[in-house]
Amino acid sequence: MEKSKNARNALADLAKLPRPDFAALQKPNLTALFQGIGEPRTEEEKKKRAAEATGLDGQNLLHVEPAKRRLVYDLATAKKAVSSIGRLPGLDESFHCIMGGDYHGFDLIIAIQQLAGEPVDELHVTTLGFNRHNMTQLCEMLAARQIGTARVICSDYFAGADADTFAFARDRLARRGSRLIAARNHSKVLLVAIGPRRFVVESSANLRSCNNLEQFALCQSPDLYAFHRAWIERVFATDATN
């Protein structure tokens, strides 16, 4: 009963309050409030440059990437090797050639593959030294499946004298399932297996360029191929990093 009485008293007090005068309130100016929304840009706004209109005017919008060295092999020298050889030797046939400095030892690998018109299944290389261009091209041929696998032996003197180039080549060949090791080597031999054919290059030339007279013999001989492959594989087997 006490609660009902209090509620009646509260309502009675509210009834005594003056009524609000809503007529005194101003109606909002909706036209002014939404003015300009969806309206086309004025001629003055259209004349502004994009950077000025977007707040980017006067800011430095230039980003500079540091230069990256890209190694490109000059295949023109390989074409000279192809032209010099002319054709691949037949079974037990050998060519004996003089290099006059217009192509490199590595170009013989490219020339043999191109003259064969087929991918190289297996490549063995022994050399005193090489350069980054040689190894970059070799890795590209591996990536393009122009060569299946490659195994390279260089001189331990070269590996110590140019450690950066040696590490560069070893790491990139390893990524492509191939190997490079250093040994007490001064021989220069290329073994190229293409299908049933076995080509051998015995040369005075290293892979990299050298502006001196060089000589090489190119033959197709399974027996000579097997002889060189056997001792090269023994060197790989005794490598401490194997």
**pLDDT tens, the chain, 242 aa long:** 555 656 566 666 666 666 666 555 566 665 655 565 556 666 666 666 666 666 666 666 555 445 444 444 455 677 888 888 899 999 999 999 888 878 889 999 999 999 999 999 999 999 999 999 999 999 999 999 999 999 999 999 999 999 999 999 999 999 999 999 999 999 999 999 999 999 999 999 998 877 788 889 999 999 999 999 999 999 999 987 75
Full-model pTM = 0.69
* Range 75-237: architecture per CATH: 2-Layer Sandwich (3.30)
| pLDDT of 81 | 87
The answer to whether the CB of 171 falls within 8 A of the CB of 182 is no
Q: Which two tokens stand for residue 35?
A: 């003015």
Q: Which amino acid is at 181?
A: I
Show me where the domains of the chain are located: 75-237
DSSP letter string, the chain: -HHHHHHHHHHHHHHTSPPP-GGGSPPP-HHHHTTTTTPPPPHHHHHS-HHHHTT-TTS-----PPP-------HHHHHHHHHHH-S---BT-EEEEEE-SSS-TTHHHHHHHHHHTS-EEEEEEE-S---HHHHHHHHHHHHTTSEEEEEEEEEHHHHHHTHHHHHHHHHHHHHTT-EEEEES----EEEEEETTEEEEEEES--SS--SS-EEEEEEE-HHHHHHHHHHHHHHHHT-TT-
User: What per-residue confidence (pLDDT) applies to 78?
Assistant: 78
